Every structure is written in structure tokens, then in C-alpha cells.
Copies of this chain bind each other. A is one copy, B any other.
Amino acid sequence: MQVRHEQLEVRSHGKGLYEITDDVQSKIDKNPVGNGTVTVFVQHTSCSIVIMENADPTARRDLEEFFDRLVPEDTDYFTHDAEGSDDMPSHIRMVLTRTSETVPIVDGRMQLGTWQGIFLFEHRRSPHRRKVVITMMGE
């Protein structure tokens, strides 16, 4: 059994879903963990890691629209707005989704279903460099 950590930087340019499936698989390919799990963890509280349908871009646009309406930027009772109107909504969207995903690895491959992709879900409007820690455990 072994444990290996890798770093990944994701550059975002506005709200939305950024697929990182291939980046995560590349980190697994470099390491001797053929059988176990990978945990993809983002070190921020204004973006998320989610598994989502990765075939049809309209699914991602509808998802983004849903979250824009569920947590509107112009919500009048928000008081945490030091970084602008997308500050508090970004924290809420993160809590409603996930900070990490854990995926099984078999024979060196993530066991994602046919339509599953791993995404960084950016909740801020301005460009950001997001730090992701990829932890592989197994044998």
C-alpha cells in the first residue's frame, strides 16, 4: 500500500464548470497506485469539485443557470460582501456541492461511468488560479 500526493493548478476565467478528468488521470499514470482510490480536493471555499455529465455542454449551462437563480447575487440579506456581490453566493454554492470527490482506481484507471467527468466548479466571476490536491492511495 502506498500514498502519493500531487498538485494541480486550474486557471478559471469566470463562473462555470472546468473539466479536469484528464489532468487527474495523468497524475495517476505517473504514480505506482494501480488499485485503490483517488481523492481530488480543492483548497478554496469559493469553488467546488463535482462529478457531472461531461458529454453535452447544454447540461452544464443549465446547471450554471440553476445555481445563479438558487443563490442570486442580489440577495438583499447577505452581509458578507467584502469581495463583491459574488462573494457570499460562492460560499453557499460550495457548501451545496462538494470540496472533494473520491473515485475508485482499478488497474490504474479511474472507475468513472460513461458520462461522468470531474470538474472544478468556479463560483467567482474574476479569473482565479485554483489549487487542487490529488491524493492516491492503494497498491
Contacts and interface: CB of A to CB of B under 8 A. Distances in A.
Contact of A80 (B1, B35, B62, B71): B62
A97 interface: yes
A88 B62 contact: yes
Contacts of A5: 35, 104, 106, 111
Tell me the dominant secondary structure on chain A's binding face. mixed
A139 B45 contact: no
A95 to B, nearest CB: 5
A10 interface: no
Interface of A: 1-3, 5, 35-37, 39, 41-46, 50-53, 56, 58-59, 61-63, 65-66, 70-71, 75, 77-80, 82, 88, 91-92, 94-104, 106, 111-116, 131, 133, 135, 137-139
Given A66-B75, A111-B133, 5 more contacts: A1-B3, A1-B139, A45-B115, A58-B80, A62-B88
